[in-house]
Amino acid sequence: MLKRLFFSTSILFLCGCKQKEKNAIPKQTTTSNVHLQYANGFSIVKKANGITVINVLTPWVNAETTYSYALIPKDIQASITLDKNEYDAIISTPVEKVVVTSTTHIPALEELGVLNRLIGFPDTKYISSKAARERIASGQIIELGVNEDLNTEAVLALRPDLIFGFSINNGNNTYKTIQRANIPVVYNGEWVEETPLGKAEWIKFFAPFFDKSEEADIIFNRIEKAYLEAKKLASKAEKKPTVISGAMYKDIWYLPSGKSWAANFLRDANANYLWKDTNEKGSLSLSWESVLEKGQHAEYWIGPAQFGSYQEMQSASHHYAQFDAFKQQKVFTTANTKGETGGTLYYELAPQRPDLVLKDLIHILHPGLLPNYIPYFFKPLL
């Protein structure tokens, strides 16, 4: 589920990882701290002896565990001695062979020009990247299982330099087995970030493993500039349209809370998201009656979960037809923008390209501000 980052839920190591409180990251003698303006879940420290230390501060929601990784350039490795007890992994860089476990990791590798280092992935059918699909077809990216439950035998046979993993807690036994084989597992907590630019800034997390930090800065600065320009354009709209989101699952309506990633997009698009004042950071679980009471007359419905057509929604529940946005066919979905094997492009690329998401929403919610723009992710429900 996490791999696909469903809108309703937002709405992506050497052996023997240690648990450390957040205030117990080892002290470093540093030359510089890499500036991170939006991301809160990690830090990068460049030490005077030439190594880079990456601290993952929030690997999952409400985590009490942090991780620290020491990256040593191969050309100085012989002259560096580190205390292994201080780090969860000590990794020689640049790495040559990696496995990633979320489709959201793939755009960062592609942007950095290191997709050719990716040798394995679980559930390859969900990958939408055309370049990655070509490598899958040619046998250069190997199928490794289902979600985070990696096929350990297949992983050990590939012998990657490291695995970029994600988890909802520290109880992933598959990762522990891989670590015991001296293959580092590096936790990526990008999916926990709440802001659009915070998620996108995680490209700076990947970059040091491949000696691509300068490239990452250039890429992120370009995305940030485009996003902020779009946000400024949206602020010029004279009207804030009302918006609802989400859909029902077993009579419970799941929709983004006011501080979530999805709600932040709607705020920056200058929309009046009707649950914008809720304080939760993930999703809300509400009765359909309460959603109807508050959102029946909303002008737009953005992100109706997995639904791609009005007929599909009507068949799932007759309650949907009571909403004005449904009646007036102002429902917009990402479900119809898929890769060649059925993966939803939004779940893969949107965290890396928030500028495209924001422009989609501006085009939908403020007709006239981007008149010639062709939406990338969000399309009208069929």
**Residue 229 within any structural domain of the chain:** no
Closest to 304 measured CA to CA, from 244, 382, 250, 358:
244
pLDDT score for 31: 65
Q: Dump pLDDT digits (tens) for 182-239.
A: 999 999 999 999 999 999 999 999 999 999 999 999 999 999 999 999 999 999 999 9
Same domain, 196 and 249: no
Number of domains in the chain: 2
Work out the average pLDDT over 319-343.
97
Collapsing DSSP to helix, strand or coil, 268 comes out as helix
Q: What is the CATH number of the domain that holds 144?
A: 3.40.50.1980
Confidence (pLDDT) at 264: 98
Give the span between the Cα atoms of 162 and 324, in whole angstroms.
50
Count CB neighbours of 134 within 10 A: 12
Q: What is the pLDDT of residues 44-90, one digit of tens each?
A: 999 989 999 999 999 999 999 999 999 999 999 999 889 889 999 99
Q: Is the pLDDT of residue 9 over 60?
A: no
What's the token pair of residue 148? Answer: 């985070």
Over residues 295-301, the mean pLDDT reads 98
**What is the pTM for the complete model shown?**
0.91
Last residue of one domain, picked from the residues 224, 247, 281: 224
Encoding tokens for residue 1?
């589920």
Specify whether 99 is located in the same domain as 167: yes
- Residue 378, classed as helix, strand or coil, is coil
State how far the Cα of 376 lies from the Cα of 382, in Å rounded to an integer.
16
Top pLDDT among 309 and 147 is at 309
Q: How many residues does the chain have?
A: 382
pLDDT above 60 (res 129): yes
Give the tens place of pLDDT for each residue, 356-371: 999 999 999 999 999 9
265/179 same-domain check? no
Distances (CA, A) of 355 to 6, 36, 113, 364: 19, 18, 20, 14
Residue 14 has pLDDT above 70, yes or no: no
Mean pLDDT for 132-150 is 91
Asked if residue 63 and residue 26 are part of one domain, the reply reads yes
Average pLDDT over residues 103-116: 98
**367 in any annotated domain:** yes
Q: What is the Cα Rg of the chain in Å?
A: 21
In single-letter form, the type of residue at position 134 comes to E
Q: What is the mean pLDDT of residues 16-40?
A: 61
Is the domain of 245 the same as that of 103? no
- My answer on whether 125 and 190 are in the same domain is yes
Domain range for 244:
234-380
* Helix or strand (DSSP H, E) at 242: strand 242-245
